[in-house]
């Protein structure tokens, strides 16, 4: 396999905040050049990698959607002393931020630290409360006039983090949500280079999922696919969380059942996994899935939609942790689903 | 400009009942636009065709300013003729006690008050009523029916010759800027100005307008909160320091290239500007950018103190800067190429 | 009997198959074209190629329910709600589960075993489990599957003063009204849509509106009614027996005034009672239909339903019949060239 942990590492270590996905987009386009027939970038920043199927006649159109963006922070105000106040672009837990090193993308990239009051100075009463985002600030170690020359309100910043290999094939870093799924998309395209298939595949690395799943929605309106599959991360098993809300890491991608999901497409994914002996796990939802699937399903006349997820622990922190085999198996599951498709099945998706 | 603002800012136009302000705007754009019409929801469209000699592959720019304001709607009329109300948009029940409102359909005035046992800081809408000075339900029904909407009834006033105060400066000021734009625009593309309805209840008007026009580029004009009053939220904007160029609001992050382009245009034309990061502010931009296959959308706003109250405060310098930056932006050579 | 069959059918959000099958059987003889869409909404057309205003009527097929999400070692089932369910109404209710409609009961710790302070607190969803009679996890796994949907086991019955109770009047009563309307001959290009997933966020109606592109749309709902106890007039929303309720403002729609006036004028001329829906809480499929594409002129007409989203919902049969009469008269009026905007 050409695209392995190194690709995921590369994708997670670049920056690509919602609405500002440039860094991640550049890496992805470079990698996908040899795998897709055509690559385009749309108005909202989504990357569409098209791969044409074989055969005459109308090809079923399959859209895969893995969001490209990651949660980031933005400079909301420069306070006296040159300290930066923050807004979030996507949902952070502010309790994970004090003491983090950050990179501020000003006129040049700048290293900063999110300030925290030392225990010697804070009162026991203060330590009982977590600080909301509005009380946090970034120290750039620069004089105020230098800060004002190099940084302006609206500049982005991210937590500064290299991706780390843990034991057992686990990888930990920022932006695993959702570069793990983007990597699965690339693995799928690579696998499709080896397989024969009749569908036209539109693999979309969608922009701005973390602020409303709008990249997938607008891309789907343009592509008007016959079916769509969202690829995202889901919560991995951990202590203190009800068992039916989480799944173990390393036991395969999760295929979700629920109102947002087309029932036959769901069953087809399970059948595909069984036929190709790929591991999978069951996910349940009773409404919103919190992924691109939610918006995809109701675009235009409605799109038969499914969801494949990669289990991940510590979501929306800078130590998001996955097992790489789940990423690989998600990519292979998607590729085989596409290769096994036929027009009859696709046409049947609107016949209940 | 102040006269134009004054003529629009005194009108009561709650979300869903904007007809009066739409009529007033229509009267002012009919002479200057090539085509004017409304749609099912009540949005007003004013279209300026490209100047002669433009190519056939002409592009479309949409400029949007919402015409509505927050208000209340009647949900019940009690036996004594007091009206029970629910909010249209972001209004806190406690802020309404003692306020005057005007009903759009019947033009009558009323005053909002709270039931006698309501706690001053914990009033909710079920405890509010409107007194329209009638003696019973029957008399009330002659003047008001369930579903009638009302908004604040206060004239615009000047605190100083350059500082305005009013209940609907958000967003009649932007409407005035857009009307002026139509009057002066002579552009090589199609300009569609939408005076949108129902922004206060979730930008519903702009959703269908964006779908209808499907422009190549869009600009949303609105008002935005400042951080320059005692113990205000930590926001960057101060009143009187220039037009606000939107980078982030509650619904969207503007594409960095569009923000950068606006900054460059402002600097080149020496127009005072500030960058607007308002994580709690809602504008039409978020719903406009998701129409059809997605529309590149940016925003300019007037920094405004005391939003969502009857005493919104704006500085005319900022209003003038918005008008100038809008004109300079539309004249920029790189408009479609950022 | 249509109301009985429809309300007893199994159809929580996302699992509307049984309701759809039943409706399809009912409408096939009445329609020119019957189809389904990508989400499973059932779209029924009469005179699709005729001239005249294209009118869409919509009622949602789904009901609130539960989903089995886990099985305990002792064979009891854990569940989560599908749609808005108040956990306080679940205790001590029989339910039906999954493809085989297996019976189960939602039990609770007996009051004898509770500490005094426990007795005043409502049961939380996590404390409630479904008992299907299995003794072990393995036994339960043979009888139900994780992911199985669950509905209340309530049966339709008429009682009291022209009242009926059933589990899913919201919105099977709307579905029944639309089936009755289809029986009426018309020359209009008329579409009746039975939508899916209204209860999980108005999901089905948007794609239906986009596909059918009507000139006018009317949503028929079973809506909130609380004309009981000491509720004051402005807290009731609607009153039973006072006729179909016309929407003014709700969480997702500010209703078009002219369309409402048009419906009112038809009701008054036909001497059909009507009332306003007097609350801004809640929402229905009109919320997405009126914003479809360039905007669609939309109205919502509702049958007052006591105890919606609970196991035993109650309607007044006069309201049901008056809603059919009213909408039928509206269709006739439009057929004769009447239009809300004229």
Residue-wise pLDDT for B189-201, tens only, equals 999 999 999 999 9
- Assess contact for C296 and C290: CB atoms under 8 A: yes
Residues in chain C: 342
For residues B226-241, average pLDDT: 96
Query: 3-class SS at A146?
Result: helix
Contacts of A292 in chain B (CB under 8 A): none
Task: Give the model's pLDDT for residue B72.
Answer: 96
What CATH code would you report for A72-159?
2.40.30.40
* Percentage with pLDDT > 70 across chain A: 99
Are the Cβ atoms of A352 and C206 closer than 8 angstroms?
no
Q: Where are the domains of chain C?
A: 2-63+167-335, 65-152
Measured between CB atoms, does A48 come within 8 Å of chain B?
no
CA A297 to centroid of chain Cα atoms = 18
What residues are paired with C193 via a beta bridge?
C43, C58
* pLDDT above 70 (res A8): yes
Count of CA atoms in the C-beta half-sphere (13 A) of B257: 13
For residues A88-103, average pLDDT: 93
How do residues B293-310 score in pLDDT, each as one tens digit? 999 999 999 999 999 899
Task: Give the model's pLDDT for residue C230.
Answer: 82
* pLDDT above 80 (res C342): no
Q: Shortest Cα distance from A84 to chain C (angstroms)?
A: 38
Are the Cβ atoms of A350 and C211 closer than 8 angstroms?
no
A320-323 β-sheet, strand order: A164-165, A170-173, A320-323
Kindly state the tokens that stand for A319.
């130590």
Task: Give the model's pLDDT for residue A269.
Answer: 98
Task: Give the model's pLDDT for residue C250.
Answer: 95
Are the Cβ atoms of B248 and A222 closer than 8 angstroms?
no
Measured between CB atoms, does A78 come within 8 Å of chain B?
yes
Contacts of B88 (CB under 8 A, 6+ apart): B14, B15, B16, B70, B71, B72, B73, B149, B200, B201, C249, C254
Task: Give the model's pLDDT for residue A178.
Answer: 96
Q: Where are the domains of chain B?
A: 2-69+167-331, 74-152
* pLDDT above 70 (res A312): yes
* Percentage with pLDDT > 90 across chain B: 92
Mutation target to probe the B interface, by most B beta carbons within 10 A, among A69, A76, A138, A158 is A76
Distance, CA of A193 to CA of A201 (rounded, Å):
12
Contacts of B279 in chain A (CB under 8 A): 76, 87-88
* pLDDT above 60 (res A224): yes
CATH T-level assignment (fold) for domain B2-69+167-331: Aminopeptidase (3.40.630)
How do residues C197-232 score in pLDDT, each as one tens digit? 999 999 999 999 999 999 999 999 999 999 998 888
How do residues C155-199 score in pLDDT, each as one tens digit? 999 999 999 999 999 999 999 999 999 999 999 999 999 999 999
Task: Give the model's pLDDT for residue A194.
Answer: 96
Q: Is B74-152 assigned to CATH 2.40.30.40?
A: yes
* pLDDT above 90 (res A120): no
Task: Give the model's pLDDT for residue A3.
Answer: 66
For residues A196-205, average pLDDT: 98
Average pLDDT along chain B: 95
* Residue A111's pLDDT band (cuts 50, 70, 90): very high
A38-41 β-sheet, strand order: A38-41, A47-51, A200-206, A61-67, A227-235, A305-312, A254-257, A281-284
Are the Cβ atoms of C234 and B198 closer than 8 angstroms?
no
DSSP string, B90-141: S--HHHHTT-EEEETTT--EEEEEE-TT--TTS--GGGEEEE-S-SSHHHHH
Measured between CB atoms, does B163 come within 8 Å of chain A?
no
* Residue B122's pLDDT band (cuts 50, 70, 90): confident
Nearest to A218 among B234, B277, B293 (CB): B293
Measuring CA to CA, which residue among A15, A54, A10 is closest to residue A32?
Answer: A10
Are the Cβ atoms of A74 and B277 closer than 8 angstroms?
yes
Are the Cβ atoms of B147 and C296 closer than 8 angstroms?
no
- Assess contact for C58 and C118: CB atoms under 8 A: no
Q: What is the ipTM of this complex?
A: 0.93
* Residue C124's pLDDT band (cuts 50, 70, 90): confident
DSSP string, A203-225: EEEES-TTTTSHHHHHHHHHH--
Q: Looking at the domain covering C65-152, what would its CATH class be?
A: mainly beta
How do residues C55-70 score in pLDDT, each as one tens digit? 999 999 999 999 999 9
Task: Give the model's pLDDT for residue A2.
Answer: 57
* Residue C233's pLDDT band (cuts 50, 70, 90): confident
Kindly state the tokens that stand for C337.
């060239």
Looking only at Cα atoms, what is the longest distance across chain B? 69
Nearest to B236 among A77, A88, A208 (CB): A77
- Assess contact for A347 and A304: CB atoms under 8 A: no
State phi, psi for B12 to the nearest 5 degrees.
-90, 120
What CATH code would you report for A5-70+174-348?
3.40.630.10
* pLDDT above 70 (res B101): yes
* pLDDT above 70 (res C27): yes
For residues A221-225, average pLDDT: 98
Task: Return the H-helix or E-strand segment holding C246.
Answer: strand C245-246
For residues A246-266, average pLDDT: 97
Burial degree of A243 (CB within 10 A; 0-12, 13-18, 19+) = exposed
* pLDDT above 80 (res B54): no
Mutation target to probe the B interface, by most B beta carbons within 10 A, among C250, C251, C254 is C254
Query: 3-class SS at B182?
Result: helix
Average pLDDT along chain A: 95
For residues C78-88, average pLDDT: 92
* pLDDT above 90 (res C116): no
How do residues C249-304 score in pLDDT, each as one tens digit? 999 999 999 999 999 999 999 999 999 999 898 999 999 999 999 999 999 999 99
* Residue C122's pLDDT band (cuts 50, 70, 90): confident
State phi, psi for B176 to the nearest 5 degrees.
-65, -40
Are the Cβ atoms of A259 and C146 closer than 8 angstroms?
no
Q: Is C2-63+167-335 assigned to CATH 3.40.630.10?
A: yes
Task: Give the model's pLDDT for residue A143.
Answer: 96
For residues A250-261, average pLDDT: 97
| H helix runs in chain A, sequence order | 5-13, 22-32, 124-127, 144-150, 176-192, 214-223, 263-275, 292-296, 324-339, 343-348
Contacts of B73 in chain C (CB under 8 A): 248-249, 254, 280
Distance, CA of C80 to CA of C70 (rounded, Å):
10
* Percentage with pLDDT > 90 across chain C: 87
* pLDDT above 70 (res B85): yes
Task: Give the model's pLDDT for residue B10.
Answer: 87
Task: Give the model's pLDDT for residue C109.
Answer: 80
Strands A227-235 and A61-67: parallel
């Amino acid at each position: 396999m050409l695209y392995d942990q190194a690709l995921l590492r590369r994708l997670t270590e670049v920056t690509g905040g919602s609405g500002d996905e440039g860094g991640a987009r550049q890496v992805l386009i470079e990698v996908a050049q040899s795998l897709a027939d055509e690559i385009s970038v749309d108005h909202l920043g989504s990357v569409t990698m098209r791969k044409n199927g074989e055969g005459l006649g109308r090809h079923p159109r399959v859209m895969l959607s893995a969001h490209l963006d990651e949660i980031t922070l933005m400079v909301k105000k420069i306070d006296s002393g040159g300290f930066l106040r923050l807004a979030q672009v996507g949902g952070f837990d502010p309790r994970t931020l004090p003491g983090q090193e950050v990179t501020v993308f000003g006129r040049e990239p700048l290293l900063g630290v999110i300030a925290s009051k030392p225990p010697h100075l804070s009162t026991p009463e203060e330590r009982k409360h977590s600080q909301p985002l509005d009380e946090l600030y970034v120290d750039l170690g620069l004089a105020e006039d230098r800060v004002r020359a190099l940084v302006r309100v609206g500049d982005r910043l991210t937590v500064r983090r290299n991706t780390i290999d843990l034991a057992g094939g686990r990888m930990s870093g920022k932006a695993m949500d959702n570069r793990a799924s983007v990597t699965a998309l690339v693995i799928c395209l690579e696998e499709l280079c080896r397989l024969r298939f009749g569908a036209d595949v539109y693999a979309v690395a969608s922009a701005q999922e973390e602020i409303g799943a709008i990249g997938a929605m607008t891309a789907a309106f343009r592509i008007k696919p016959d079916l769509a599959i969202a690829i995202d991360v889901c919560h991995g098993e951990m202590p203190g969380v009800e068992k039916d809300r989480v799944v173990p890491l390393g036991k395969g991608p999760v295929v979700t059942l629920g109102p947002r999901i087309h029932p036959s497409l769901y069953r087809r994914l399970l059948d595909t996994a069984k036929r190709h002996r790929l591991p999978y796990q069951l996910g349940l939802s009773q409404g919103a899935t919190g992924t691109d699937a939610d918006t995809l399903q109701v675009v235009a006349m409605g799109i038969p939609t499914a969801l494949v997820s990669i289990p991940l622990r510590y979501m929306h922190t800078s130590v998001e942790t996955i097992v790489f085999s789940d990423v690989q198996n998600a990519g292979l599951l998607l590729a085989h689903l596409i290769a096994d498709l036929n027009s009859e099945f696709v046409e049947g998706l609107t016949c209940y | 400009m102040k006269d134009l603002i004054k003529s629009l800012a005194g009108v009561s136009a709650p979300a869903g009942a904007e007809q009066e302000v739409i009529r007033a705007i229509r009267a002012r754009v009919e002479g200057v636009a090539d085509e004017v019409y409304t749609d099912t929801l009540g949005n007003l469209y004013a279209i300026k065709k490209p100047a002669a000699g433009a190519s056939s592959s002409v592009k479309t720019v949409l400029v949007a300013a919402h015409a509505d304001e927050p208000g209340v709607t009647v949900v019940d009329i009690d036996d004594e003729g007091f009206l029970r109300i629910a909010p249209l948009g972001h209004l806190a029940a406690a802020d309404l006690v003692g306020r005057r409102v005007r009903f759009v359909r019947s033009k009558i005035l009323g005053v909002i008050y709270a039931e006698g046992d309501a706690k001053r800081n914990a009033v909710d809408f079920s405890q509010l009523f409107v007194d329209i000075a009638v003696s019973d339900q029957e008399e009330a029904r002659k003047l008001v029916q369930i579903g009638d909407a009302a908004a604040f009834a206060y004239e615009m006033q000047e605190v100083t010759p350059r500082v305005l105060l009013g209940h609907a400066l958000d967003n009649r000021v932007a409407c005035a800027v857009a009307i002026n734009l139509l009057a002066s625009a002579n552009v090589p593309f199609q300009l569609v100005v939408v005076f949108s309805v129902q922004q206060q209840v979730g930008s519903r008007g702009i959703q269908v307008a964006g779908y209808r026009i499907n422009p190549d580029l869009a600009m949303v004009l609105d008002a935005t909160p400042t951080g320059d009053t005692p113990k205000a939220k930590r926001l960057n904007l101060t009143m009187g320091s220039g037009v606000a160029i939107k980078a982030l609001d509650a619904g969207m992050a503007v594409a960095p290239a569009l923000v950068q382009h606006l900054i460059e245009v402002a600097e080149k034309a020496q127009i005072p500007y500030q960058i607007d990061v308002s994580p709690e502010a809602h504008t039409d931009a978020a719903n406009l950018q998701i129409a059809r296959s997605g529309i590149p959308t940016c925003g300019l706003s007037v920094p405004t103190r005391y939003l969502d109250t009857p005493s919104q405060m704006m500085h005319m310098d900022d209003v003038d800067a918005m008008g100038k930056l809008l004109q300079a932006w539309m004249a920029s050579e790189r408009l479609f190429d950022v | 009997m249509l109301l009985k069959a429809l309300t007893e059918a199994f159809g929580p959000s996302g699992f509307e198959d049984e309701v759809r099958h039943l409706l399809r059987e009912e409408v096939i003889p009445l329609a020119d074209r019957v189809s389904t869409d990508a989400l499973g909404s059932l779209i029924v057309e009469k005179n699709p190629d005729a001239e005249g205003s294209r009118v869409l009527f919509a009622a949602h097929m789904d009901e609130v329910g539960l989903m089995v999400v886990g099985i305990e070692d002792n064979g009891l089932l854990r569940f989560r709600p599908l749609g808005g369910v108040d956990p306080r109404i679940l205790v001590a209710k029989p339910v039906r589960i999954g493809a085989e409609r297996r019976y189960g009961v939602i039990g609770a710790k007996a009051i004898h075993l509770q500490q005094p302070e426990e007795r005043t607190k409502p049961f939380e969803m996590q404390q409630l489990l479904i008992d299907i009679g299995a003794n072990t996890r393995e036994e339960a796994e043979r009888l139900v599957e994780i992911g199985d949907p669950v509905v209340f086991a309530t049966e339709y019955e008429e009682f009291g003063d022209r009242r009926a109770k059933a589990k899913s009047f919201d919105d099977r009563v709307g579905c029944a009204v639309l089936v009755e309307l289809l029986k009426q001959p018309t020359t209009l290009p008329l579409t009746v849509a039975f939508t899916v997933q209204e209860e999980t966020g108005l999901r089905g109606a948007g794609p239906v509106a986009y596909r059918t592109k009507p000139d006018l749309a009317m949503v028929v709902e079973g809506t909130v009614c609380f004309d009981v106890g000491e509720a004051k007039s402005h807290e009731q929303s609607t009153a039973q027996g006072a006729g179909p309720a016309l929407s003014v403002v709700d969480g997702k729609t500010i209703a078009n005034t002219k369309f409402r006036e048009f419906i009112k004028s038809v009701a008054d001329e036909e001497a059909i009672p009507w009332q306003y829906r007097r609350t801004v809480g809640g929402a229905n499929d009109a919320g997405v239909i009126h914003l479809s594409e360039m905007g669609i002129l939309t109205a919502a007409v509702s049958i007052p339903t006591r105890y919606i989203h609970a196991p035993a919902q109650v309607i007044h049969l006069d309201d049901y019949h008056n809603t059919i009469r009213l909408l039928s008269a509206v269709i006739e009026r439009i057929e004769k060239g009447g239009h809300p905007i004229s």
